[in-house]
Amino acid sequence: MIMEGNINTVWKSCLEHIRSDVNERSFRTWFKPIVPLELKENIMIVQLPSVFFYEYLEKHYVKVLKNTLRKELGPDARLEYRILTTGKNESSKSSTSSKGQNDEIKNPFVIPGIRKIKVEANLMDKYNFEDFIEGDCNKLARSAGLAIAAKPGETAFNPMVVYGKSGLGKTHLVHAIGNLAKNNFPNKRILYVSTEKFTNQVIQSIKTNNTNELVAFYQELDMFILDDIHFLARREKTQEILFHIFNQIHQNGKQIILTSDRPPKDLEGMEDRLISRFKWGLSADLTAPDFETRIAIAQWKLEKEKVEIPFDVLEYICYNIRDNIRELEGLLTSLCFQATVTNSPIDLKLAERVLHQFVEKEDRAISVENIKKLVCESLGLDVESIQGKSRKRDLVSARQIGMYLAKSFTSASYKEIGRSFGGRDHSTVIHACKSIQDQIETNSMFNDKVKRLEKDIQLSFMK
């Protein structure tokens, strides 16, 4: 047996060759932890930290190791492993030997003791593209998701970051992508995990000194879906490990999908190098759906559950639940349940009662200010513009419509209305009301526009 000093010298020389063949991150992760034990003629025996480590080297770096050993020890060089699994050195394994059935593979998603790594996708079957109704609020994200599911890792959308406020369908969309990809490619390893669960795995791996195995597990995925990355803020070690996982998955041409409550550029407490990688692919936002899309979502849900409710009730609900699809669906479920339990018809009276119980409604009393805000929302204008002095035709028309509706639906005087619309006098309001009434009588399209706004007020400000 050659003395220890010699084996260390030989292994050091081997590492120098290996370092020139692999990137620095792979070198530190997969070769630095190897411990040289013995050198017998042309056989080098080394110690590896785990069976998983052994499997990964055999799969990805066996050629690198063989070529390196031949350079140092000659054409007949062989490498044998001793794997440290329980604090004791197990029997030697050559680079061509197979593992026993009881060898333990560390996998954060399965019970230790299973020989072959098995990934459970953690996807929720109920989320699919059929139920993800398309609208202007989600068209880009939905289209990109379909492209990814058809060719994971092969599109320009890698990574894909889906961001938006809570309740707009981020989780639904990424599960739908995963489910469709799984259906298209049954053999691909797809995994959905929340940031909280991922962080807990990192903490556990640090406790047990198994971070290499955790990284190796994730690097084997074909599609990695990480939900709520904004929770990574100020979690330095978790960010560091995610950085290494991200790089390897991306370099392997595999797909990464992330969700957040804000765009990558606005993420706070996050390493710059990680944010820069989040920006490599596509960042697609989900915004609040417009009225028509909310109606379509509600109708689809009711059709699936074979429930019918009057359209005026549906309109009322969709006017009052504007920014959260989850709340909209929950309210419909609650409405149908209460109608069944109380044996009551589903009408506006029941819908109003359920709405007040289900969400905390803001003060929506009919007032000049609230009517002014609603008109601006409906016409895509800001309140300051119609209160200003601009004489642009669209602003003058919106201002006059607001005054007309304020006089129609409130008991405010002309003077009070004029004051609310930028300090105008009562004669301006009188002229506006007359102008709008004349246009209603002579222009059918304008009449429809005003009628639509009147219905909006009736639905939005019902008591």
What pLDDT sits at residue 119? 66
What pLDDT is attached to residue 283? Answer: 93
pLDDT at site 211: 85
Collapsing DSSP to helix, strand or coil, 222 comes out as coil
Q: What pLDDT does 86 receive?
A: 40
The 10 Å CB-count burial string (b at 16+, else e) for 77-107 is bbbbbbbebeeeebebbeeeeeeeeebbbbb
Per-residue pLDDT tens, the chain, 463 aa: give them: 344 458 888 888 889 889 888 888 778 878 888 888 888 878 888 888 776 677 778 778 888 888 888 888 888 888 887 876 443 334 444 443 333 333 333 444 433 332 334 567 889 988 999 999 898 889 999 999 999 999 999 999 999 999 998 889 999 999 999 999 999 999 899 999 999 999 999 998 888 888 888 888 898 899 999 999 999 988 999 999 999 899 889 988 999 999 999 999 999 889 999 999 999 899 999 998 888 888 898 888 888 878 888 888 888 888 878 778 888 888 888 888 888 888 888 888 888 888 876 655 444 557 888 888 888 888 888 888 888 888 888 889 999 999 999 888 887 888 889 888 988 988 999 999 999 999 998 898 888 888 888 877 776 665 4
Domains of the chain, first to last: 4-94 (3.30.300.180), 139-285 (3.40.50.300), 291-358 (1.10.8.60), 368-460 (1.10.1750.10)
Residues 263 and 230 sit within 8 Å (Cβ to Cβ): no
Which pLDDT score, from 0 to 100, does residue 462 have?
A: 53
What lies within 8 Å, CB to CB, of 215 at 6+ separation is: 29, 241, 244, 245, 248
**pLDDT recorded at residue 54:** 77
The pLDDT value given to residue 132: 92
Is the separation of the CB atoms in 355 and 347 below 8 Å? no
Q: Which residues contact 408 (CB under 8 A, 6 or more apart)?
A: 454
Q: What is the pLDDT of residue 393?
A: 86
Q: Are 22 and 61 in contact (CB under 8 A)?
A: yes
- Is 373 buried (19+), middle (13-18) or exposed (0-12) by CB count in 10 A? middle
Question: Are 216 and 52 spatial neighbours (Cβ–Cβ below 8 Å)?
Answer: yes
The answer to whether 310 and 346 are in contact (CB under 8 A) is: yes
* Residue 3 confidence (pLDDT): 44
Q: In the beta sheet, which residues pair with residue 78?
A: 43
List helix spans (H) across 305-443.
311-320, 325-342, 348-358, 368-379, 383-387, 393-409, 414-420, 426-442
- Residue 309 near residue 343 (C-beta atoms within 8 A): no
Rounded Cα–Cα distance for residues 327 and 354 (Å): 12
* pLDDT confidence of residue 116: 39
Distance between CA atoms of 341 and 101, rounded to whole angstroms? Answer: 57
Q: What is the pLDDT of residue 453?
A: 85
